[in-house]
């Protein structure tokens, strides 16, 4: 049986966090397609242009930072909510952030778009939490 293609989008304004996240994904889930964006706007543009209304057979995991300048992770989710349901169904979002603020955690639980809340840095255990 063929293993499904693993696709990841990482949106984080911190370049070192992007690098760590990419390295952890490659180490534990290789081969995987990984797209990284240091701005939420660029991540949203990529999704809008790359994901059609047609169902993709491969699920994409999106790691999203909460605290980013200009467009925060929460603003990203507001814009993502406007996408066609066929696009949204192809992407599973996890907040990956340094924020341990209880308000952020509560907001993520209320959101129908967020599958989980992970505190940085990404690690093998957190990858297992996503796929476990």
Q: Could you read off the pLDDT tens digit of each residue along the chain, which spans 132 residues? A: 345 678 999 999 999 999 999 999 999 887 889 999 999 999 999 999 988 756 666 789 999 999 999 999 999 999 999 998 889 999 999 999 999 999 999 999 999 999 999 999 999 999 988 987
Residue 2 within any structural domain of the chain: no
Inter-CA distances, 78 with 38, 41, 49, 53, 101, Å: 18, 12, 18, 19, 20
- The candidate with the shortest Cα–Cα distance to 104, out of 116, 88, 121, is 116
- Domain region containing 120: 7-131
Residue 35 within any structural domain of the chain: yes
Residue 1 within any structural domain of the chain: no
CATH of the domain at 85: 3.40.50.2300
Residue 21 within any structural domain of the chain: yes
Number of domains in the chain: 1
What pLDDT does residue 1 have? 38
């Amino acid at each position: 049986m063929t293993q499904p293609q693993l696709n990841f989008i990482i949106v984080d304004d911190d370049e070192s966090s992007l690098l760590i996240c990419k390295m952890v994904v490659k180490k534990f889930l290789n081969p995987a397609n990984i797209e990284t964006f240091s701005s939420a706007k660029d991540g949203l543009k990529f999704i809008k242009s790359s994901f059609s209304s047609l169902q993709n057979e491969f699920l994409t995991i999106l790691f999203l930072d909460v605290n980013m300048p200009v467009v925060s992770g929460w603003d990203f989710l507001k814009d993502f909510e406007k996408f066609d349901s066929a696009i949204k169904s192809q992407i599973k979002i996890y907040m990956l952030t340094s924020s341990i603020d209880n308000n952020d955690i509560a907001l993520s639980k209320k959101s129908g778009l967020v599958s989980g809340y992970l505190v940085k840095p990404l690690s093998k255990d957190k990858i297992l939490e996503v796929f476990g």
